[in-house]
Amino acid sequence: MRSQPKFHAIVGKVSRGSSEVWLIMPQTYMNASGMAVGSLARYYRIRPEECLVVHDELDFAPGAAKLKRGGGVAGHNGLRDIAEQLGTQDYWRLRIGIGHPGDKNIVADYVLSAPPAPERELIESAVDRCLQVSPWILAGDMHAAMLKLHTRDKPEPADSDGKN
């Protein structure tokens, strides 16, 4: 990974056989994330449906993680800017829940503050689950990654005495 001013990002590349996966971390304000995503995608001719954006999700409880393609931006200005730069909302999103503070007037401070320890642990657990499905994502098998990520292990049924 190294800073690439022309892409307004820190950029890295992972090669797997004949495939390349570009990793970028925008170095702009979050609301201008599309500048980095769009410039790299245009330069390397990466189609929007080949892009995966990982972002926080206020509408999910801490610890939730969901993978989807397309959809609205739900007021997320970074996603809005990415959609404008790519010319479409049809790109993949890996959404990691951070919860909502309950008052829309304090959202900005909430997302810029460190979460309390119990919530941080849940968020880190979600990131770990996302990393577990990364082989499918890197292979381009988004549907397998989605199935694995969205399927929770079922608890074992309790014995008749109420114990496992």
Give the 3-state secondary structure of residue 155: coil
For residue 64, give both structure tokens: 């939730």
Taking only the tens place, the pLDDT of each residue in 44-68 is 999 999 999 999 999 999 999 999 9
pLDDT-based confidence at 20, cuts 50/70/90?
confident
Q: Give the type of residue at 119.
A: E
| Residues making up the chain, counted from first to last | 164
Report the C-alpha gap between 93 and 84 in whole angstroms. Answer: 15
pLDDT tens digit sequence for 148-162:
999 976 555 555 555
Two structure tokens written together for 115: 């979460």
Domain 2-150 indexed as CATH 3.40.50.1470: yes
The first and second tokens of residue 155, run together, are 């608890």
Give the position of tokens 């608890």.
155
Provide, rounded to the nearest whole percent, the portion of the chain with pLDDT above 70: 93
**Domain residue ranges of the chain, discontinuous segments joined by +:** 2-150
Nearest Cα to 149, choosing from 72, 60, 76? 60
